Amino acid sequence: MMRADGLTAALARLTANAQRVSASGGLPAITWIASDEPLLALEAADQVRAAARQLGFTDRRVFHVERGFKLDALRHEANSLSLFANQQLLELRLTGKPTKEVGEGLAELAPMLPEDTRLLVSSPRLERATTESAWFGQLERSGWTVAIAQVDRTRLPAWIGERLSRAGQQADAPTLQLIAERVEGNLLAAEQEVRKLGLLFGPGPLPPVEVRAAVFDVARWDAFDLVDAALAGDAARALRCLQGLRAEGVAVPMVLWALADAVRNLVRLSIAVEADRPLAGAMRELRIWGDRERLYPQALRRLARPILRRLLRGCARVDRITKGLTIGDDWQALEAVAMGLAGAPALALQADAALAA
């Protein structure tokens, strides 16, 4: 699989060659773009469309994979181009995991596509089970598969800086960090804010005070962002996450489940460590993967067992409030749990008081 920059370079090489040796202009039978980030997926697909137009694929037809979708319609369209018709780009858009039927059908169709028909597929990020399947390996031999990762939170300020530089603008590190905090998890909004700054201030250095007033808080969060921030001990970010979740109308039980699951995992890991069991093995048993393999040990070093028990009691209290069995503000009680998990010194007394209520 190639990355987004690899796709850009490959398309540039194709379009730079004016002497095309085939009707396809060298464009592979199928290009599959997989990403959970809508903006980056859209930009990559736009590059493919632009290159296809330059190579003579002026006709375009879009298919959406929905309930009851059959590949027969795509096959029929791929083989129905008349003698005098233009070259065509067919697009297939998936909103979820590709089924085995769709995958095997595409793998069979791709090598049989005529030279005057190319296929562009877009989907969410592909799971390992998909990329390791036989049909996917077969499909890769017929074209390009492009995996576009989401922009990591730590890279977001630099990503915004790169976008600003394209418009001839520059911003200092604190300003980039401010913009990143206000658009985290929402690259479409980040791109809109960058364009807005281009219209408001024009090329050159951006004034920090004016930028602060101009950039809206459009960050998007989920409950797992909250847990990650709390496990990392980043109380300020955890608080922003919680406030964002509340503003978006996320249900309290969903947030509570994520927090309580993290606290229970910490208790189990604490017990394993006291029993001289390897921490790495205990995390594998609890299916703790990726970045959380680093975050949980950090939290364990910060949170003693009595604190974890208190956090569990706090989770139980939130649950009773949501069920009407205890009087209180469920979001305030959630905040106490989150701040306790983050180990925020300035808020420790408030959290303790709320959890003990």
Instruction: Give the residue from 206, 225, 187 showing the smallest Cα distance to 338.
Output: 225
Q: Are residues 171 and 122 in the same domain?
A: no
CATH of residue 260: 1.20.272.10
Per DSSP, helices labelled H in the chain are: 4-16, 38-54, 72-78, 100-109, 128-131, 134-140, 156-166, 173-183, 187-201, 208-214, 223-231, 235-247, 252-274, 279-285, 292-302, 305-322, 330-342, 348-356
Residues 243 and 299 grouped into a single domain: yes
Per the structure block, which two tokens stand in for 351?
A: 């959290």
Q: Are residues 290 and 261 in the same domain?
A: yes
**Domain identity same for 33 and 86:** yes
- The secondary structure of 289-357, three-state, reads CCCHHHHHHHHHHHCCHHHHHHHHHHHHHHHHHHCCCCCCCHHHHHHHHHHHHHCCHHHHHHHHHHHHC
- Domain termination site, one of 214, 238, 254: 214
Whether the CB-CB separation of 23 and 87 falls below 8 Å is answered with yes
Tally the C-alpha atoms within 13 A of residue 67's C-alpha that lie toward its C-beta. 0
What is the residue-level pLDDT of the chain in tens, covering all 357 positions? 888 889 999 998 888 874 554 555 688 999 999 999 999 999 999 999 999 998 888 889 999 988 778 888 888 888 776 555 578 999 999 988 898 889 999 999 998 888 889 999 999 999 988 999 999 999 999 899 999 998 988 899 999 999 999 989 999 999 999 999 888 888 988 999 999 999 899 899 999 999 988 888 777 788 998 999 999 999 988 998 898 899 888 999 999 999 999 999 999 999 999 999 999 999 999 989 888 899 999 999 999 999 999 999 999 999 999 999 989 899 999 999 999 999 875 454 454 555 555
Residues 23 and 144 in one domain: yes
Of the three residues 94, 127, 148, the one that is the final residue of a domain is: 148
- pLDDT, tens digit (0-9, with 9 covering 90-100), for 125-149: 999 889 999 999 999 998 999 999 9
Give yes or no: residues 204 and 86 share one domain.
Answer: no
Using one digit for the tens of pLDDT, what is the confidence trace for 151-200?
988 899 999 999 999 989 999 999 999 999 888 888 988 999 999 999 89
CB-based contact 328:321 (threshold 8 Å): yes
Q: Which residue has the tokens 């109380």?
A: 235
Residue ending a domain, among 148, 163, 186, is 148
The helix (H) or strand (E) run that includes residue 143 is strand 143-148
173 and 282 both lie in a single domain: no
> Tokens standing for 135?
């049909």
Q: Under a CB-based contact definition with an 8 Å cutoff, are residues 90 and 78 in contact?
A: yes
Statement to judge: residues 122 and 35 lie in one domain: yes
Residues 301 and 172 in one domain: no
How many domains in the chain?
A: 3
One domain, residues 245 and 199 = no
Instruction: Report the sign of the C-alpha dihedral through residues 3, 5, 31, 13, in that order.
Output: negative
What is the domain range of residue 352? 223-356
Q: Are residues 173 and 139 in the same domain?
A: no
The pTM of this model reads 0.72
Q: Which of 115, 72, 114, 116 is nearest to 92 (CA)?
A: 72
Cβ neighbour number for residue 42 with a 10 Å cutoff? 16
**Do 163 and 135 belong to one domain?**
no
CATH number (domain holding residue 8):
3.40.50.300
